[in-house]
Structure 1
Amino acid sequence: MLSIYTTENIVTSIFQDSDNRYDAWYDFITKLRPTMNVLLNEDTDYEENDYNPVYMFEKDYDIDIEPEFLDEVGENAYLSLVMSLAPDVINDPHAIFLLDIDESQAKIISEKYGVICHSFNSSPSSNPIFQEGIEKNVEKKEKGRGWHELLPVDAVSPSNSLVFVDRYLFSKDSDGITGQDGINNAYEVLNRILPAKLGVDYHILFVFDASTLSIHSGDTFENIAKQLNKLVVRLARPYNIIMESVSIDHNDMNYDETHNRRILSNYFIVRVDRSLKAFRPTHSLYSQSMFLDWGASKGIIHSKRSDVPAKALGKYIKEVKIAIGQLKKSVGQVPFAKNGEILPIKDISHRFIC
């Protein structure tokens, strides 16, 4: 699911690294086997050189390599467009750009597109994909707990897309916990994750079960969708936010796959035991464990005996895509809204789905 965009020179440095400087990248590639889009050198005869490091990665580890060749003027169109900050050039929301540029330029590209761009001259450990995860264990009605502990602003960037999966996020529970708590928690999470600036649209999708809403409290799918859209104004970001919502119920295929509560981003997963409507300003609402894991926060640099979380992230996103695909085939109207307006499910435009 994650993919790397880089050059032959960088792949060669990773493959032939005798000083162990790039072990993290080597392990990431060989363990996760991401799709690799590699810009080849002008004099490379890729298909005739069995000892080319790019080919050896492909052959020895069964990695999907998509070679790119220099064009007639000695430049590669795609990477040139990325580095020139051309609009709408990155269509892969899970792209990791590993380039021979300085840190300041990498930061500009990352902030522009909301994707990971890493200077190959920088230590791999400084890349957010490898940062340690966070685990919090909260007790019901425990004071002083909140999303600020699990989602520090400096630990959730970059991103340009989110999917919330929680059937009961806006349902009414015991102890006076209501759909409004779901709206409030959605705002807190979004306000912590959404970057301060971005050069592309930010895509958000809420997947929940509208049949669990409290009709007596005035909670309907349309009402929830409108309340979520109002959060766009509250968030006050200087870029466009596309807010989508879809209901999935027990009659739909893949309903069982939406049991676990989670938030999916381009590169990280948030998982909770009980509910994403986890807090009020003064205390926690449930006893539960909560986790933030980046795609390689385990299994590479940290917790090397663990699986790489990117595998789970890819699985969860695939399940959502399959569920949405089945809903598109449904007979009758599927509860779906974009920017507060009820629309046909075929109009969904979230990056992870389309």
Structure 2
Amino acid sequence: MKDKIDQIKEKAMEEIKSLNNMEELEQARVKFLGKKGELTKVLRGMGKLSKEERPVIGQLANEVRQDIEKELNNTKENFRREIQKRKLEKERIDISIPGKDIVLGHRHPLVKTMEELENIFMNMGFSVVYGPEVETVENNFDELNSPENHPSRDLTDTFYINKNLLLRTHTSPVQIRVMKENKPPLRIVSAGRTFRFDDVDDTHSPMFHQLEGLVVDENITMANLKETINTFIKVLFGEDMHTRFRPHYFPFTEPSAEVDVSCFSCKGKGCDDCNGTGWSMELLGCGMVNPKVLQNCGIDPDKYSGFAFGLGIDRIAMVKYGIDDIRLLFENDMRFLEQF
């Protein structure tokens, strides 16, 4: 039996050296060490051996099994390394090939304009606050002293979600929220998206951006409003810019005004761009906060007064960057955006 075990070892070692792949290696393992393998068959005859021979043959069989297993494992590891080597060669990255250029993004002109406006007012002592785009009818219209029959309440002008909720038509509801939740003195600006059925030409869009400001304190007058607006315009467009306040009507301010700025081309002298008037366009609306609005928010109108103003961020961006079509700001056309 000892000779048979030695022969099995010699045969196994020679056969393992001639193997070519993992599949053949597994077949060899089963052939020599499996339950029906050659070594197992020989060991089944140990019952015929004497008591003295059994431990000797048993020890020899275990040593042979360990030697065969060791050779199988070494060969298996060699196959694995070879497979890995071939895989790496096949999947190798050629680092000599030039890489692709990484295109870095930048701030959208609308975002840049919004941040610039907010920074101007923060430097003037205003706080920046934000509010929800889905607003209540109460905050959007009622508390702002908007009449029940005002055209802005119509379904043709406003995006209603239900009879009590809508997409805000301006950022003024943020002012209402601030006045309800805080006591004067107040000095805030709020910026964000607003929504109206308004796309009559290339300067209007159903979605646009507004920035509105509010100041409430004791002894606030129209003079404070005019000085604030004039300071803002000069910081934004330059010291040589001028403003013109024209009477207007807003339900939430009284008195109210629209503000024009001098022509960006001639600075007020008169040219073809402004048809010789010296004035460019209406830039914003403003006025003294209506006492009814203060009262609606729990603020004593006999003790406090305030002013409010609102402007279109999209319009400022169009003027600042010379854009003639508001739709370009929302189309995400890279040919357009890369110019900024």
Above 0.5 in TM-score? no
TM-score by length of 1: 0.18
Higher Cα Rg, which structure: 2
TM-score by length of 2: 0.19
More relative contact order, 1 or 2 (CA 8 Å, 6+ apart): 1
